[in-house]
Structure 1
Amino acid sequence: MTAADSAKPTGPFARASDWARGHVPTRETIEANRFLRPVAHRILVPALWRFHRRSVPRGVALGILAGILFPFAHMALAAVLALPLRANVPTAVGTTLINNPVTFVPILATAYRLGHWVLRLDHQVPGHPLVTNVKANSGWLHWVVAQGGPATIVGLVLIAVTLSIIGYGVTSLIWRLRIARKWRNRRS
């Protein structure tokens, strides 16, 4: 066993690291990709790939927002939106994984309940009601258009905005605490 083999990490993190190295595109493969070639000069700006105190919390907030609001193609959307917002691209893309096959149904169910509560669909509004009586029009499509869809959309927006703000704040706080610890260790 050589010194290089003993320094190599072992366990599940090592396997994940090896898998990521083999599947994550390199700078050269992004530059060579014919679909990305027209925008490669914008995507490969080094500032978008550095981890610093402003870009990482932006990336977290953007990734959560894109991951919850757009269940499909959220990684590509987060990467594209990270460019003008100067957010960290890997963080934005990685954070979109908050919405995955395990969390998709609970997020939608919570969004529906929250939207239903916010819109108060159970109460009759005096004058012009927001939604007609569902029992009179018991078709599934009518329910989706009249109650399910609007309630879920409102709930998703509320969840996405709230979690993005929390993610931004927590990431900024963790970053600040980490830097403070480094400064304390440097002084001692």
Structure 2
Amino acid sequence: MERNRWIRPFAHRVLRSELWRFTRRSVPRGVALGMVVGIIVPFAQILFASLLSLTVRANVPVAALTTFITNPFTTPLLWVLAYKVGSWVLHVDAMTMVAPVSTAIEHTDLQNALQWLTGATLVTAFGLVLIAIVSSVLSYFVTSFAWRAWIARKRKARVMRARNRTLAE
């Protein structure tokens, strides 16, 4: 890949080993990034996840694979859920006296940015962003916990094997 004329200018960044190794820090980052990109970006998800993983030092293959959380079977359910979440949050926000979320969306270009980014109406786009944030944070912590549990189990098995070898001698 380093010799390819299109990749050569930035090959030193793309081919860093930390982006391709499965470590306790890069894998949860990759999962969280893949969740955000998979939920919010409706097109070229693998490309965006791969490019963004360079900036946050996330595992590139994990980020790319996690974008498959949205597929033709899950996307309609996700969009219905996003509409319901967005309408509930904006309805609760409208019932408050200040309505900070509605005011911020209406008085800035956030409404246009959300609709352009997701290709959805304001309520659905807002719901998609909320779901993406919550699911990425949750998936980061679940993956991190699962990684630590897996490593602890491997270490415990290694210690038991060493103890059994010592007793056998």
Bin the TM-score by the shorter chain: 0.7 to 0.9
What whole-Å deviation, never above 9, does each CA across 1:167-186 have from its counterpart, x for those lacking one? 10110111010011011111
Match of 1:153 among 125, 136, 143: 125
Q: Which runs of 5+ in 2 are unaligned?
A: 103-114, 161-169
User: Over alpha carbons, which structure has the higher Rg?
Assistant: 1
Distance 1:51 1:116, change over 3 A: same
Partner of 1:168: 140
Residue identity (%): 49
Q: Aligned partner of 1:163: which letter?
A: S
CA distance in 1, matches of 2:98, 2:159: 68
Q: Aligned partner of 2:154: which letter?
A: K
Q: Which has the higher contact order (CA 8 A, sep 6+)?
A: 2
SS of equivalent to 2:71: coil
Match of 1:100 among 71, 81, 105: 71
- Normalising by structure 1, what TM-score? 0.68
- Normalising by structure 2, what TM-score? 0.75
RMSD over aligned CA atoms reads: 2.5
Q: Aligned partner of 2:76: which letter?
A: V
Q: Which runs of 5+ in 1 are unaligned?
A: 1-29, 132-143
Distance 1:33 1:105, change over 3 A: farther
Higher helix share goes to which structure? Answer: 2
CA distance in 2, matches of 1:117, 1:53: 36
Whether the 8 Å CA contact 1:49–1:89 is kept in 2: the answer is yes
Q: Shift of the alpha carbon at 1:125?
A: 8.1
What whole-Å deviation, never above 9, does each CA across 1:52-111 have from its counterpart, x for those lacking one? 000000000000000001011111111111111010000001100101111111111110
Partner of 2:46: 75
Whether the 8 Å CA contact 1:71–1:99 is kept in 2: the answer is no
Partner of 2:24: 53
SS of equivalent to 1:120: helix
Distance 1:50 1:110, change over 3 A: same
Q: Shift of the alpha carbon at 1:41?
A: 2.0
Q: Shift of the alpha carbon at 1:35?
A: 3.5
SS of equivalent to 2:28: helix
Q: Aligned partner of 2:64: which letter?
A: V
